[in-house]
Amino acid sequence: MFAVILVAAAMIIGTLLGMVSGFFGGRVDEVLMRLVDLFFAFPVIILAMAVAAALGASVQNAVLAGVIVSWPIYARMSRGLVVGYRDAEFVISSRLAGMSSTRSIAVDLIPSVAGPMLVLATQDVGAAILLLASLSFLGVGAQPPMPEWGR
């Protein structure tokens, strides 16, 4: 259950940040994608261990650490999809009809991006289980009366 929560939270955060980055471009895109690159510069397990150890040993903090290290994958994927759809005729025509940026993202882009993001999330559940089990095994995840794969 914790892995599904981790993946859902990471997908929501990463998808929204990636969509904003891809839709607006410019400086917003540069700043957000450099932040994503910063997260990709470190191994996931090392960064998750550092965050979980800094927050304290509990399953909630392990899930939070997993979200912190997992959202960049979704941001990069959704940004790439939105950059491809941003210049599509259906998005341009709705913007010319007077639709705001927020409404255009909600009505035009979220349904277009949802399928690939759900596929990525489904594939990521196994990695999330392994990450949480690894953190538990190292002592910064679930604590002893709570059952966990890493214990």
pTM: 0.87
Q: Which amino acid is at 75?
A: A
Rounded CA-CA distance 124/128 in Å is: 6
Exposure letters 45-55 (e unless 16+ CB within 10 A, then b): eebbbebbeee
Token reading at 130: 């392994």
Cβ count near 130 (within 10 Å): 14
Compute the average pLDDT of residues 134-145: 81
Closest by Cα among 2, 4, 16 to 121: 4
Task: Name residues whose C-beta falls within 8 Å of residue 33's C-beta, 6 or more positions apart in sequence.
Answer: 21, 76, 79
Cβ–Cβ under 8 Å, residues 142 and 65: no
CB 104 within 8 A of CB 93: no
Give yes or no for a contact between 77 and 85, defined as CB atoms under 8 angstroms apart: no
pLDDT tens string 49-89: 999 989 888 888 999 999 999 999 999 999 999 999 988 89
Q: In the numeric block, which tokens belong to residue 67?
A: 């979200």
**pLDDT exceeds 90 at position 150:** no
What does pLDDT average to over the chain? 90
Most confident listed range (5-14, 40-49, 53-62):
5-14
Average pLDDT over residues 124-147: 85
